[in-house]
C-alpha cells in the first residue's frame, strides 16, 4: 500500500463534464493515456485469446468455429500453418537431416568395401560398409545419438543393417552398409 503522503493525479469525470487531456496537467494526461492504452491492449489480447480458443480442439468451448481435421486428412496431427510450432518442427527436421548427412559422410570416410570387412579381400565396389563397433568408436565424439540417427538414416533408405536396434558391445560386429 502506498504511503499517505503520495498523491496520484486522478481526473474526475462526470457525464456532464468530461475534461480533455489538454485541460489537465501533463502528468494526469499521461496517466489517462497510459491507462487507455493498457485497456486497449488488454481488450485486443482478450479478443485474440477468445478466437484462439474457438479454434482449439481441446478447449471446453462447444462453439468451435472450425472443423477439426479427422484421421486421414492432410492437416490431421499437424500444427497450424504459420505457427511457431510448425517452425520448430521444420527447424528440427533440418537439424536431423544435417546429422544424417554427417553420419553418411563419417561412414564414407572410415568405411571400406563390404567384402573387406567380412572376408578380408578387397572389392572395388560402389558400396561402403563399416562395423557398428568401429563407427561407434569414431562417432562417439561427434554425437551421443548415433543409434537414433542410424535408425533415421535407415528409414530414409540411406543405410542398411540387420536387426531392429543396435546395442554397444553386443552388436559391435554388425555391418552397416551405406547405400549409394
CB 131 within 8 A of CB 117: yes
Residue 112, helix vs strand vs coil = strand
Q: What is the pLDDT of residue 154?
A: 93
Residue 138 counted as domain residue:
yes
Residue 131 counted as domain residue:
yes
Q: What is the pLDDT of residue 26?
A: 55
Helical H runs in the chain? 26-55, 84-110, 114-118, 132-139, 146-155
Residue 177, helix vs strand vs coil = strand
Model-wide pTM > 0.75: no
- Phi, psi dihedral angles at 146 (to 5 degrees): -55, -50
Residue 132 counted as domain residue:
yes
3-state helix, strand, coil in the chain (%, to 5): 45, 5, 50
Residue 20 structural domain: 9-70
Q: What is the pLDDT of residue 124?
A: 45
Distance in angstroms (rounded) separating the CA atoms of residues 92 and 99: 11
Q: How many domains does the chain have?
A: 2
* Assigned C-alpha cell, 50: 477468445
Are residues 64 and 104 part of one domain? no
Distance in angstroms (rounded) separating the CA atoms of residues 33 and 26: 11
CB 11 within 8 A of CB 35: no
Are residues 61 and 105 part of one domain? no
pLDDT one digit per residue (tens) for the chain, 180 residues: 445 554 555 444 444 444 555 555 555 555 566 888 888 999 999 999 888 887 777 777 666 555 667 788 787 888 888 889 999 999 999 999 999 999 999 999 998 876 655 544 444 456 889 999 899 888 776 667 888 899 999 999 999 999 888 888 888 889 999 986
Residue 113 counted as domain residue:
yes
Are residues 13 and 64 part of one domain? yes
Distance in angstroms (rounded) separating the CA atoms of residues 42 and 94: 37
Are residues 65 and 104 part of one domain? no
Amino acid at each position: 500500500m502506498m504511503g499517505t503522503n503520495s498523491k496520484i493525479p486522478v481526473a474526475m469525470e462526470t457525464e456532464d463534464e468530461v475534461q480533455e487531456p489538454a485541460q489537465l496537467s501533463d502528468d494526469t494526461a499521461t496517466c489517462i493515456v497510459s491507462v487507455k492504452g493498457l485497456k486497449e491492449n488488454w481488450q485486443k489480447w482478450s479478443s485474440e485469446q477468445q478466437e484462439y480458443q474457438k479454434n482449439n480442439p481441446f478447449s471446453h468451448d462447444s462453439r468451435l468455429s472450425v472443423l477439426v481435421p479427422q484421421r486421414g486428412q492432410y492437416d490431421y496431427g499437424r500444427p497450424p500453418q504459420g505457427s511457431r510450432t510448425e517452425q520448430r518442427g521444420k527447424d528440427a527436421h533440418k537439424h536431423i537431416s544435417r546429422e544424417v548427412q554427417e553420419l553418411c559422410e563419417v561412414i564414407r570416410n572410415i568405411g571400406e568395401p563390404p567384402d573387406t570387412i567380412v572376408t578380408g579381400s578387397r572389392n572395388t565396389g560402389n558400396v561402403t560398409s563399416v562395423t557398428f563397433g568401429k563407427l561407434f568408436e569414431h562417432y562417439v565424439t561427434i554425437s551421443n545419438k548415433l543409434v537414433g540417427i542410424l535408425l533415421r538414416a535407415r528409414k530414409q533408405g540411406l543405410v542398411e543393417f540387420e536387426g531392429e536396434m543396435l546395442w554397444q558391445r553386443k552388436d559391435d560386429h554388425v555391418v552397416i552398409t551405406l547405400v549409394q
